[in-house]
Amino acid sequence: MTRKIIIDCDPGIDDAVAICMALFDPRLDVLAITATPGTVNADRATANVTAIVNELDPPRYPRIGKAAQSEHPTVSDDSALLHGSDGLGGCNFATSARQHLPSSEKVISELLHQYPNEVTLVCLGPLTNLAKLCRLDPTSVELIDSVIISGGSVAHPGNATTVAERNMHFDPNSARDVFSSPTTKLLVPMDVTEQVLFGVELLEQIPDRFTRVGGLLHKFIPFAFRTAHQRLGRELIPLYDPTTLVSLLEPELFTWKAMAGRVETQGDLTRGMTVFDQRLRSEWPENMEVATDVDAKEAKASIIRSIRYAGQNT
């Protein structure tokens, strides 16, 4: 049995790695990859999704959804510095000639109605598309099997501001709406994804350049290490979105806790912060399962195995 998924993302180097893993994993049936603005703007996000799929030429092509600009974005982080101006370390893939792609929310809605209660939505970027779906077609939201969200933080410092993680900070209004929606949600926050770290030896472990997967990864993984060193002074890098994908494939590697979470949308210093009611007598209703710990060694090994398997099939 394969698991039907839709990947909603804003590629993004770590998004691209997760796409490489997912498209060739026999446990997954990637029905669609829908673009959303975040790391890059809407047009570039759509172009990056299209380019990644075309470069990989998977055995089964997913549907692609076109991104639309967020209504309330917060563009104040350093994504361009860490991912390159195009989001993919300067690959600068040509913009696709396919101008008439359906919108991301339309693609998601159609697939949910086609496969009711069978589809897992894997959100690797800001939650703009899912929030829009909640507003425009609430009946389709009820058909989602579960939503896995990469982002937020319970106690870890933010990476967009001192307290806010990038995906939540970019569009906190949408994140707030999704957190309060009646969907089954699993959150994989920075507290966990920052435990799964890779050194430059990753370059020797990914597939050879002559494979389609390896050729793509070798274009932007070195950029990720170089900018992490230059901009952040760190030698080890996390791969947030691949770690989130592992939480879907091997949830037993993670410790999960039912929690009550909301997203701050107003604070001058806290906009985009994920806030959890952890009082002894919580007054907020629990609304999601949150990953609180991970077997980092096994999660890291799982990511490398998945990438290498993808390379063997290209």
CATH number for the domain spanning 64: value is 3.90.245.10
What pTM was estimated for this model as a whole? Answer: 0.95
Q: Quick check: 257 and 154 in contact, CB under 8 A?
A: no
The gap from C-alpha 237 to its chain's centroid, in whole angstroms, comes to 16
Is 240 strand, coil or helix?
helix
Is 293 strand, coil or helix?
strand
Q: What is the mean pLDDT of residues 28-54?
A: 95
- At 238 the pLDDT is 97
- At 278 the pLDDT is 94
Residue 7 has pLDDT above 60, yes or no: yes
Residue 77 has pLDDT above 60, yes or no: no
Cα 308 to Cα 208: distance, rounded to the nearest angstrom: 9
Cα 107 to Cα 290: distance, rounded to the nearest angstrom: 27
Is 162 strand, coil or helix?
coil
- At 73 the pLDDT is 59
Q: How many CA atoms lie within 13 A of 25 on its CB side?
A: 28
Residue 75 has pLDDT above 60, yes or no: no
DSSP string, 40-61: S-HHHHHHHHHHHHHHH--SSP
Q: What is the mean pLDDT of residues 111-116?
A: 97
Query: How many domains is the chain partitioned into structurally?
Result: 1
Domain that holds residue 293: 3-312
pLDDT tens digit sequence for 206-257: 999 999 999 999 999 999 999 999 988 999 999 999 999 999 999 999 999 9
Q: Which residue has the higher pLDDT, 71 or 183?
A: 183
Q: Which residue has the higher pLDDT, 203 or 92?
A: 203
Q: What is the mean pLDDT of residues 183-203?
A: 97
Q: What is the mean pLDDT of residues 192-208?
A: 96
Structure tokens at 291: 């990953």
